[in-house]
Amino acid sequence: MIAAHLHNSRRAWIRTLGRPHGVEVPAAVDRFRVSRLELVRALKASARGIAGLLTLGLGHDGTIPPTPVYVWRNLPLDVGHVTGLFRRA
């Protein structure tokens, strides 16, 4: 369940910050019903999406450009902060 939550959280940030810039948003998973194989595939897909966000940020002087969907603006969008959110435990 924790790994599924990690994937879905990554997905939410990819959807909010990346989709408007062309970063592919992976499908969400049901944290109660996802199989191990499905979860591994999902985590790989969300890892690619996070890599896309970081690539986007590095192409914009180290900052991910804010999007109209990012309305609460409570996270600094520099690549260092965003990388810290999604590192492996």
Furthest-apart CA atoms within the chain: distance in Å: 40
Stated pTM of the model: 0.87
User: In terms of Cα–Cα distance, which of 82, 88, 25 is closest to 55?
Assistant: 82
User: In terms of Cα–Cα distance, which of 11, 12, 19 is closest to 68?
Assistant: 19
User: In terms of Cα–Cα distance, which of 6, 10, 2, 5 is closest to 52?
Assistant: 10
Residue 46: CB atoms within 10 Å: 25
Average pLDDT over residues 3-13: 95
How high is the pLDDT of residue 89? 40
> pLDDT by residue (tens digit) across 15-52?
999 999 999 999 999 999 999 999 999 999 999 999 99
Average pLDDT over residues 64-68: 91
The domain containing residue 49 runs over which residues? 2-85
**Structural domains of the chain, count:** 1
Rounded Cα distance between 13 and 19, Å, is 9
